[in-house]
Amino acid sequence: MTEEFYVRDAVAVARDCLGKILVHGRTAGRIVEVEAYLGVKDLAAHASHGVTNRTRVMFGPPAHAYIYFIYGMHECLNFVCEPEGLAGCVLIRALEPLAGIPLMERRRVKARGIESLTSGPGKLTQAMGITRRLNGSSLISGPITVRALPEELAFEIGVSPRIGIRHCADWPLRFFVQGSHCISK
């Protein structure tokens, strides 16, 4: 994907991420679930508190990874989008594993089958070996990249409110591949 892909509003980027391939090292998966976060006006977004050491990456140039630690145990991957300064992000919630599956299984020994390897934001980062040390890395030239298939697969996009948040919880900003068995539960 090019930088132009990410220099758009978070909702458009989120919807267009579905079906794309997330690659890190020897692992890869088809993005099947995402959530859009709309910057300072979205009280569920980390950016709503302005620029801090934690959120600085979100306010920077698009096409970078914003990776944070949550609940004292999970790392979550976001794609920075929108023009610099606006802090829109797309949380990658779930993938359909495609490559490096044995490695993913070693990293996620408690997973029950391929469908649960990457069926949540913390699960997918663990399975793919994505950690906060990659925070701020380029999604164009960095170790985490996003690719389009030569021929996009047809699918319907499901829409619902985001999961596990308190503020702006009714906003329909969760997008997923309808019928995928790999989305979060």
Predicted TM-score (pTM) of this structure: 0.94
CA-nearest of 161, 177, 151, 139 to 7 is 139
Query: What is the per-residue burial (b if ≥16 Cβ within 10 Å, else e) of 88-122?
Result: bbbbbbbbbbeebbeebeebbeebeeebbbbbbbb
- pLDDT tens, residue by residue, 144-159: 999 998 888 889 999 9
Cα separation, 36 vs 90, whole angstroms: 5
Confidence of residue 31 (pLDDT cuts 50, 70, 90): very high
| pLDDT (average), residues 85-94 | 94
Residue 10 has pLDDT above 80, yes or no: yes
- Other C-beta atoms lying within 10 Å of the C-beta of residue 14: 28
Cα separation, 66 vs 89, whole angstroms: 8
Residue 79 has pLDDT above 90, yes or no: yes
What's residue 106's pLDDT? 95
Q: What residues are paired with 79 via a beta bridge? A: 65, 90
The domains located in the chain, with CATH, are: 3-177 (3.10.300.10)
What's residue 72's pLDDT? 65
